[in-house]
Amino acid sequence: MVIRHIGQLLTMAGGVGAEFTASADAAVWIADGRVRYAGPESGLPLEADGFVVDAGGRLATPGLVDAHTHLLYAGQRAQEVALRAKGASYLEMLEAGGGILATVSATTAASDEDVLAATRRRLEEALRAGTTTLELKTGYGLTPTAELRLLGLAEVLRAEGPQRLVLTFLGAHALPPSHRGDAERFLAEMAAVHPALVGRADFVDIFLEPGVFQAAAADDYLARAQQQGLALKVHVDELQDGGGAAVAARRGAVSADHCAYTSPAGIAALKAAGTVAVLLPGTAGYLHPEHMAPARQFLDQGVPVAIASDGNPGSSPTSCLGTLLPWAAAWLHLTPDEVWTAVTRGGAAALGRGDVGQLAPGAWGDLVVWDTDDYRVPCHRYGTNLVQAVYVGGQRVAPRCR
């Protein structure tokens, strides 16, 4: 297919700024699911053929890459709104059997088909808001058997498409009541599952946070995953600086996620390791809006940054990274150029995927057409889905949403 008459094209194949913005008439040629050409329409190869789509002068960008989600679950936790209004903290709700544990109960009680149906709806919401690649974590089982069940369901969803799903095993998401006071035994049981993840899970993750899993125990757990050849992503420094960034860096994790309280020493460690900092402004805005991740410090120190939704039933109840672009800009004090980089190439780097997040020859033809001709507008206007059409591998998979 050929998409022509693009008013503004972000290929994300160059650097930040004018290098990735084409403001004149532009075109994208996709063949066999891959980008063959993306740039000024005057440079479109003579051999470019296929179904022609007129973008009508609109903005076109790579599909968004959401590098951190917890969308695989059943139930909902709307009751937490009132609890937070009364001052209950995240960890207090968890201690009382709420939070993650409430979703574990609902997910355990639901049938496989019910979990699949609920997750399909969330994936569709994400797709309609421009997300074409996303990470899908387990984590709402908290027993080896239940976590493997969720991984199996995630594999079903990955096979269905149309989004490209990256699967992460997050068995160490919280400490269940059955193991209270004995995190070492719990982590040993979860680590025993690691050999069964080879060839199935793309990453292993752990919620490294004081009050959940401490740095030393998490470091040992991650080392066991590495012994199986499994790649790592790590929840770090969401509620306080627990030394998580240093652990993620030492273990060569592909990404360290949250990083709201990461210290300058932690930032330096991530820089030295080449670990991507995945920032989750939706979660911070929901839990502690007064304390956002130090995005400017990460960028100034040369740490690659991704922005993700953290879509989950409690602390970031959304499926749609596209709706968070204005808040990423406003709360993290980022320019539109930096936001777009973080939700495309940055997200791809945080998932170890060089074939998405850009419209460059050889990359997958995953593309979003927006109902504007200015790439700054989606980073400015909130409350409205501006997505006009979504393509995965050159196939239209989502119509305009109203």
**pLDDT digit string, tens, across residues 129-168:** 999 999 999 999 999 999 999 999 999 999 999 999 999 9
The model carries a pTM of 0.95
Average pLDDT, the chain: 94
CATH code at position 267: 3.20.20.140
Kindly state whether residues 176 and 244 are assigned to the same domain: yes
Q: What pLDDT shows up at residue 47?
A: 94
Mean pLDDT of all residues in 298-311: 97
Kindly state whether residues 46 and 169 are assigned to the same domain: no
Mean pLDDT of all residues in 53-72: 97
Q: What pLDDT shows up at residue 88?
A: 75
Domain holding 240, by residue range, is 65-350
pLDDT of 401 above 60: no
Q: How do residues 66-102 score in pLDDT, each as one tens digit?
A: 999 999 999 998 888 787 788 777 667 766 667 899 9
Please tell me the distance from the alpha carbon of residue 69 to that of residue 140, in angstroms, as a whole number.
12
Kindly state whether residues 293 and 368 are assigned to the same domain: no
Among 54, 63, 59, CA closest to 391 = 63
Kindly state whether residues 242 and 113 are assigned to the same domain: yes
In the chain, how many domains are there?
2
CATH code at position 17: 2.30.40.10
Q: What pLDDT shows up at residue 240?
A: 94
Kindly state whether residues 56 and 70 are assigned to the same domain: no
Residue 317 CB coordination number (10 Å): 16
Kindly state whether residues 29 and 74 are assigned to the same domain: no
Cα pseudo-dihedral 123, 83, 385, 309, rounded to 10: -50
Q: What pLDDT shows up at residue 402?
A: 39
